Amino acid sequence: MGDEALILSTTQATLIDHINSFLGLDKWQLHGVGFQPGILLCMLCIVLWTLCVYKEFRLIFTQGEIALSVPRASRTTIYRNRFRSLSRGRLFMLLTIHLARAGIASILLVAGILWLARTTSIQDLMLNAVALNAILDVDEFLFVGMTPAKIQEALRKLKPMRVDYSHTRSQFESVVHFGALVVVVLLSYFLLLVPLQQDMLSVKREMCYGNQTFVVSHNTDTQRTIGLVTVLSRDIGNDSISEIAVRAHKATSPETTPDAFSTYISFAPDIDAFQERRSRTMREEASAYPFCVEARLLNTSGDLYGDASLLPLATQLVNTAAATVGRDGATTCQEMK
């Protein structure tokens, strides 16, 4: 049956891996470093998203200015594919739409920055940045897909309208846009990304700092907590028998080694047999195989030597015994002494 602790540990390991990748930390580093790939990439994505929204703001402002420059009249008239007059009702509707677009763009700007600043995976950060950029094109998709073709053709035939830009106005707008971009980026960094970095470091310190070379279990009868000191790291050849068995079995597959069998794992035919074998005592295990494996199966003079049906059993028992006493590769009882 599944072990819920494995699910929890996998989630924690994935979280630590994301933190290390995002902050550019090594496995045992618990303090921030100068170059942080995730922070840098997040800043670039925020700048890109801010520029996309600013482009929308500029388009809204320009279209509103053009609408206000058209002469007002009781009716809207078009002459030679150019607006000669615009009714007050249509002008009010256009300005209302522009205000709504500006409000939606403002909300998207804030929501997009918050979304990007709270993304802790570099892969997800790239996907989120691309997804945000597509949101601003929804109105164009709706226009192309839902507006009648006759209206689209009529709009394409309209001649463009000019907007007069003086040198002073052009320079002023550029300065305002640049200043607004700098303010948004700095606020995003100090109010969102710096706290995110501190939270990530705090999470890693909480999960990876201090003495971790022990395991504990609670005895429900005596109400005592029992501990066991473990090795400093599992990366120095102190793998458990189960880890050795899994690693050995992963190296084989029906495609690469079609006739191979597991050299450590005894696979049960069904769930009932699995439960019975995993809870079997040593006495029950010995009674299941009441003979000397080495003498009868592995020795060339044994009566069961060469029996293909018993070869997996002999290999699994010998390899497990050798791994238990720390003599990996031993094939006889003499080598295990």
Q: Per-residue confidence at 279, pLDDT binned at 50, 70, 90?
A: confident
Mean pLDDT of 188-207: 91
**What local confidence, expressed as pLDDT, does residue 314 receive?**
83
Between residues 279 and 191, the one the model is more confident about? 191
**What local confidence, expressed as pLDDT, does residue 238 receive?**
60
**What local confidence, expressed as pLDDT, does residue 327 receive?**
78
- Give me the phi and psi of 219, to 5 degrees please: -90, 115
Which residue matches tokens 């191979």? 260
Other CB atoms within a 10 A radius of the CB of residue 20 amount to 18
This prediction's pTM:
0.64
Does the structure show a pLDDT above 70 at 330? yes
Written as six digits, the tokens of 251 are 């190296």
Q: Per-residue confidence at 255, pLDDT binned at 50, 70, 90?
A: low
For the chain, domain boundaries? 4-208, 241-336
Between residues 294 and 93, the one the model is more confident about? 93
Contact 227, 215 (CB under 8 A): yes
- The four Cα atoms 144, 147, 151, 155 give a dihedral, to 10 degrees, of -40
Does the structure show a pLDDT above 70 at 1? no
**What local confidence, expressed as pLDDT, does residue 165 receive?**
78
Mean pLDDT of 38-52: 93
Other CB atoms within a 10 A radius of the CB of residue 318 amount to 21
**What local confidence, expressed as pLDDT, does residue 311 receive?**
82
What percent of the chain lies above the pLDDT cut of 90? 24
pLDDT, tens digit, 9 for 90 and up, residues 122-168: 888 888 888 888 888 888 888 888 889 888 888 888 888 877 778 88
Does the structure show a pLDDT above 80 at 190? yes
pLDDT, tens digit, 9 for 90 and up, residues 69-87: 888 888 888 888 888 888 9
- Give me the phi and psi of 227, to 5 degrees please: -120, 160
CA 295 to CA 123: how far, in whole Å? 57
Helices (H), ranges, the chain = 4-23, 37-69, 88-117, 122-135, 138-146, 149-157, 167-188, 194-208, 241-250, 271-278, 282-288, 293, 311-324, 333-336
**What local confidence, expressed as pLDDT, does residue 237 receive?**
53
Between residues 107 and 151, the one the model is more confident about? 107
Does the structure show a pLDDT above 50 at 12? yes
Select from 5, 30, 34 the least CA-distant residue to 20.
30
Chain mean position to CA 306: 51
**What local confidence, expressed as pLDDT, does residue 2 receive?**
44
Does the structure show a pLDDT above 80 at 270? yes
Dmax (CA) for the chain in angstroms is 113
Burial class (CB in 10 A: 0-12, 13-18, 19+), 116: buried
Mean pLDDT of the chain, nearest integer: 83
Chain mean position to CA 63: 40
**What local confidence, expressed as pLDDT, does residue 101 receive?**
92
